[in-house]
A and B are shown apart, each in its own frame.
Chain A
């Protein structure tokens, strides 16, 4: 079983639509949670952190359910520029004391005019 699982998509939505992505993680020791965005052949960029209390950043809302080991991302009023792959990411502690990022395979979003 993958450590972080996501529906690969693609999700094809028209501009202005609301779209939701889900993610599950297998390791209950996961400590921090993030959504990253990755454009084709580019490095991942941090979109937002995810908290149990939920957090919102403009059109983006993220939610964490620790009991279910489930993370979500909601995008409202989709823009063409939102087309990208959205990566669900958790952190795990290494024996060295560092935290490593564990990435899901990503969910591809295509927003059309």
Chain B
């Protein structure tokens, strides 16, 4: 149980393109979803926390207009990287939790984003 699917797993696109990443909880209803980013040889960093039907809460230093998060249902959250640039190239991972407190978290497979 507790399977989280993330799509796509790998994206390569030109600078200026907007990229949408989907995170789905396949066998449970995710009250809370989290989006993380991991640059090479660095730790996973939380970008934002989202609740179904409400606005995401962004961590300090993460531009909400750059990284659009939509948590429209209890099984789906999307992260859109708008007008992506090479510095946005990273490994993006989502996680989902049944619990209101957000624990435990179940991670998706991650999306490797490369902007040329």
Which residues of A line the B interface, CB within 8 A? 2, 4, 8, 32, 41-46, 87, 91, 94, 96-106
Contact = CB atoms under 8 A, between A and B. Distances in A.
Interface residues of B, number: 24
Given A97-B101, A99-B102, A42 B46 contact: no
A104 B41 CA distance: 11
Contacts of A44: 44, 93, 107
Interface of B: 32, 34, 41-46, 49, 57, 91, 93, 95, 100-105, 107-110, 112
Nearest to A104: B43
Given A87-B44, A99-B102, 17 more contacts: A4-B43, A42-B110, A45-B107, A87-B43, A94-B49, A96-B49, A97-B101, A98-B32, A98-B49, A98-B57, A98-B100, A98-B102, A99-B103, A100-B46, A101-B105, A103-B44, A106-B43
